[in-house]
Amino acid sequence: MMDEVKKNQLSREVLKKTKTGLWTIEIKENSHPKMSGDEVMENYLGVKGKKYSPEELYDIWFKSIDKAYHEKIQKAINKMKKGKLVEFEYISHTSKKDLKNIRVSGTLDKSYTSGVRIEGIYQNITDFVQLRKKVEVSKEELVKAKNSITTYTGIMHALCRDYESVYYVNIDTFKYKEYIASENFSGFKIQHEGDDFFDDTIENIPKVVYVTDRAKLIEFMNKETILPDLKKRKTLSIRYRVILNKKPVFFQMNVVPALEKDSNHYIFAIQNITSQVDKEKEYTDKLRAASEMANTDGLTGVKNRLAFEKAEEIMNSEISGGVMNPFSICVFDVNNLKKMNDKFGHEAGDQLLCEASRMICSFFSHSPVYRIGGDEFAVILIGADYFDRKSILTALRKKSNINNKKTDAVVIASGLADYDYNKDMLLQDTFSRADKDMYLNKKKLKETAK
């Protein structure tokens, strides 16, 4: 199930650098669930280099999950089976000493038809969770420091060295004091202490925050919005951008209780996360590029059969829903590929396929072109190509007829069919008529060949 991912070197490098693993789970009625994962996930589970069946790997994964999360995991799997995108965290322990915080996200693989298959990513976020806990002040440290502002400030600096600003807020009186002050914000004339943290922050937002992020941050800091969650001792966070040197810079505000038994105080810690956001964007861009590669034919550069099947799935859904716009399908078969391979070798055959692909793309320049088999191509005609389909096909067949009189030139048999909303229940119905038309054209080309 993960063979294609493992063969894709780019995907492997991207996932390794971001410490992100890929997984799939297959679920069939009356069968034991099967699981596969890439080497990153196998490292997390401690099974790298060992041979386990997909059923055994599933059991190893599930047994590694802390029992307190079993019900949560099952609910998440049920949601994914229904096609929902689900993200959640849990604690994993491959041994008593090896506890990990794991973040998982996944959804249903709708292209899989032999049962139910869900797939997604698997990430060890233990370091992030530990960093998040750094802003929690222990009871012992507060007792030692409560009579010494200097000592307390030192503790705050030690615990919050990764933060630009740290505020200590009484959520009953709203009084606050800043213990870590950022030089980045010095030009904004922001108060370092005061009688109402929430009102003062809302007043400062227009001075500091990027215009499109102001509304969400104002809503977040509104007393009616935030105080109910703070009374419940929840940990909160929000991302937003600040204008520094005329450029938007990403920040994150983390809100955590100051002490376990002190219900009056919270720490509001502001962190510059620009480098983290840049890495996330780089990862997303590379993963998107890897996904594009997975849907591209490696030889010709056009879309591959997997991409065609995905398009077919979408269009079948629109057909069944009665919202399908008019379209046509053109099917192509490259003549003489076997003869070319036998006579000059497979490199010559590959060159013939590339030339055929370029020829098809040059005629159908506004529609997606797919290589659906060894010497078979298909085009789903939309837009301008759909309206000009007959003249375009006539021109392509004229070119093939001319080449048919030459030696070793590209000859492409072609067939066209229009979607009939009164008869066609699936895209395959239209495809079948185009395929029949193509074989008629192929027969004619052979009869008139040199």
Per-residue pLDDT of the chain (450 residues; tens, 9 = 90+): 444 444 445 455 555 566 678 889 998 888 899 998 888 788 888 888 888 898 999 998 888 888 889 999 889 889 988 888 888 888 888 666 678 888 888 888 888 888 899 988 888 888 777 766 665 544 455 455 444 444 444 444 444 456 778 888 899 999 998 876 666 665 556 678 899 999 999 998 888 888 999 999 999 999 999 999 988 888 888 989 988 888 888 888 888 887 666 678 888 888 888 887 787 677 556 656 655 667 888 888 899 888 899 889 888 988 888 878 889 999 999 988 888 888 788 888 889 899 999 999 999 988 889 999 889 999 998 878 888 899 999 999 999 999 888 877 899 999 999 999 888 999 999 999 999 999 999 999 888 875
- Give CA–CA dist 299/347, Å, rounded: 11
Q: Which residue's entry shows tokens 């810079």?
A: 249
Rounded to an integer, what is the distance from CA 241 to the centroid of its chain? Answer: 23
Residues 375-385 as b or e (16 or more Cβ within 10 Å = b) = bbbbbbbeeeb
Q: pLDDT value at position 49?
A: 80
Nearest to 114 by CA among 27, 5, 23: 27
Helix (H) or strand (E) holding 297: none
Beta strands of 28-126 (E only): which ranges? 34-37, 86-93, 99-108, 116-124
Laid out side by side, the sheet with 193-194 consists of 193-194, 176-180, 165-170, 262-272, 247-259, 236-244
Q: pLDDT value at position 384?
A: 81
Report the first-to-last Cα separation within the chain, whole angstroms.
47
- Give the three-state DSSP class for 90: strand
Q: pLDDT value at position 319?
A: 87
Nearest to 267 by CA among 130, 148, 159: 159
- Give the three-state DSSP class for 304: coil
Q: pLDDT value at position 324?
A: 82
416 near 401, Cβ under 8 Å? no
- Give CA–CA dist 15/40, Å, rounded: 8
- Give CA–CA dist 86/121, Å, rounded: 11
Q: pLDDT value at position 397?
A: 93
pTM: 0.41
Helix (H) or strand (E) holding 207: helix 197-208
Beta-bridged to residue 101, according to DSSP, are 91
